[in-house]
Structure 1
């Protein structure tokens, strides 16, 4: 992923020609995509970090390299995509967005494979292609052809989920990430608390530190031991990538001939691009895309503990909300200051919110959205148990107020609760909730490309910032 950031931000655009000759390309983009100014108004680029035990040509990595990567054996992983990010760059040259897709997002996989975690879309496409090509005697050709079909199936899955048309594709593997972080001398990160995780190999003290190689891999791959699991890992990846871009924007990397040479060598042996992408021309176009012109976001999600039949615990995703979110990228948010119902005075009603969704911080976020509409602020707390459906409960004679609240939240069931006093309602936000306040739980920008801190994704106190602007994370 760090190699991809180098390419798409045009940081090394003067040297970009040196990269192109050794890059591996695949014909993965369908007809009608890939143009310089797409008719849908934006260039959408799929960036993929592969949990792969092979190089970009499909050759197995030696065991000594796998040991250094802490990646197990050559038969482990290989078909899953650890990192999925869609770069959304408007035709008008406005602010660009890097949208993360948590790897455990439970979505419809293209190719009639049913609903599974999104990180398996590549693997399903690749495995199906291998099954069909058993008569092919050329093992290298069979491998590369199946990888092409895996990428195509992943792209189709993302397009179905987002409603966007993917114009370009870039993929990097584990060894590429390792080499790139070492080539630039490491990336500055900051942790709120020390971590030690045997699965990823993450073993870091609290505070700011510079990491590279195997430590950098462990930092962006850890999810065990993090409160929000895969969602916290997405934050780790976004903050790391912002720090990486900041490092490469500094004079110490691109003006150092040895670092520049090492960087180019690392990129050329680890990147796969779509066949018709003129990366040189694109880098020239994008060389000014830096600093505050790009922000990282995450698709809206529901409960992170969705129980599935085949895939275990996954992250709930509502495809309609994802499409709406992607369609609204870059658009000004609608005003939330007007009353929910002009016939009802929200200042006469106190609202409590109970979080029954499993998404941390959601009650406070929803309550803030209601206060912005004029309702009186009550209490925000967790419910005693999670609920699948959201509901507004009201006391005797409180039907009108409850109706105003449910309309303000985008619509949900209302029901009477004799234990509630007059002039007070209580909202229970379940795992189905996707109204005001839910959008702020993931899509809100976390950190700018230059590493500057922005509003955190949850309505809690901002994470600490080190003296030089590095955002501290879990």
Structure 2
């Protein structure tokens, strides 16, 4: 009901799903869900790569989408939408006596969408068993969780919510070769792919020659461009309005000696954010990959399982 009151929720799936127990039947890619569809979306737990952990991310994705609808002004500027939302909340949610839910909703307009984040603690084993062998449990390392929370809160206090939510997969890395070295762009593209960046086009530079190797992005402060530049040994980031948001163009010149060059370039040493260092150190095959940190600040929802 709440989803319908807000005009639906925008989500994105990495792969198509069909799971009759929950009623989940969705194509891959971005899509808008109505209320019943959103319910099936958040209920699915079977046939997901990480089981219940992915179901939690589904729920977070819907919450982030709903929060984005409210915070972006699409809701607060429409009296009719506000009225529908109030009616839906009153019929769907148990509220404490005396709590004005709509006053709370109006306060949300003071928030920036990027400051509303949903995160899942690091997990050691998503398919563990209790000591008596009778219950299925999720196992965690309490010290690891404590360190993760401290790091998360610290970086959030520093206004780095967007950095916390960033993952390399959000950036498509296009690599072009501006040298006579055969295979250089392909080798560097492979390095970036191994770091989790989405592989883009690979080829020779058909534009103007550059004086030095560089990473080009729509904005010089683009998080993805900065991360790519760091992984390639500290290349400069150059603003280029022709580059689509969410992608970068790596231009390799004759001065390039970083990873993939075959010239001894090594991965740069960098500090890993505690909020993303879920599973560093020893881990066995039961350790699930980390969950993404989702925010309510983007018009384009992150694709999830």
Look up the match of 1:316. Answer: 139
Q: What's the Cα RMSD here?
A: 3.4
Q: Deviations 1:437-467 (Å, cap 9, x if unpaired)?
A: x9x934xx6222223xxxxxxxxxxxxxxxx
- 2:139 and 2:11 mapped to 1: Cα distance? 29
Deviation, 1:247, is: 2.2
Deviation, 1:188, is: 1.2
Look up the match of 1:293. Answer: 115
Task: Label 1:302 to 1:213 Cα distance change in 2 as closer, same or farther (>3 A).
Answer: same
User: How many positions carry a matched residue from both structures?
Assistant: 183
1:446 aligns with 2:302: no
Deviation, 1:232, is: 1.1
Conserved 8 A contact 2:19-2:46: yes
- Larger-Rg structure: 1
Task: Label 1:227 to 1:219 Cα distance change in 2 as closer, same or farther (>3 A).
Answer: same
Q: Deviations 1:321-380 (Å, cap 9, x if unpaired)?
A: 3344334432159xxxxxxxxxxxxxxxxxxxxxxxxxxxxxx99xxxxxx9xxxxxxxx
Look up the match of 2:303. Answer: 472
Q: Secondary structure at the match of 2:40?
A: helix
Deviation, 1:273, is: 3.7
Look up the match of 1:190. Answer: 12
Deviation, 1:203, is: 0.6
Deviation, 1:186, is: 0.5
Deviation, 1:264, is: 0.6
Alignment gaps of 5+ in structure 1: 1-178, 334-363, 366-371, 373-426, 452-467
Look up the match of 2:55. Answer: 233
Look up the match of 2:283. Answer: 429
1:331 aligns with 2:185: no
- 1:233 and 1:268 mapped to 2: Cα distance? 26
Task: Label 1:305 to 1:286 Cα distance change in 2 as closer, same or farther (>3 A).
Answer: same
TM-score (normalizing by structure 1): 0.34
Alignment gaps of 5+ in structure 2: 157-194, 197-230, 232-280
Q: Within 5 Å, give how 1:370-409 maps onto structure 2.
A: none
Conserved 8 A contact 1:302-1:431: no
Task: Label 1:329 to 1:233 Cα distance change in 2 as closer, same or farther (>3 A).
Answer: same
Conserved 8 A contact 2:64-2:296: yes
- 2:11 and 2:286 mapped to 1: Cα distance? 35
Q: Deviations 1:26-74 (Å, cap 9, x if unpaired)?
A: xxxxxxxxxxxxxxxxxxxxxxxxxxxxxxxxxxxxxxxxxxxxxxxxx
TM-score (normalizing by structure 2): 0.51
Q: Within 5 Å, give how 1:134-145 maps onto structure 2.
A: none
Q: Deviations 1:64-91 (Å, cap 9, x if unpaired)?
A: xxxxxxxxxxxxxxxxxxxxxxxxxxxx
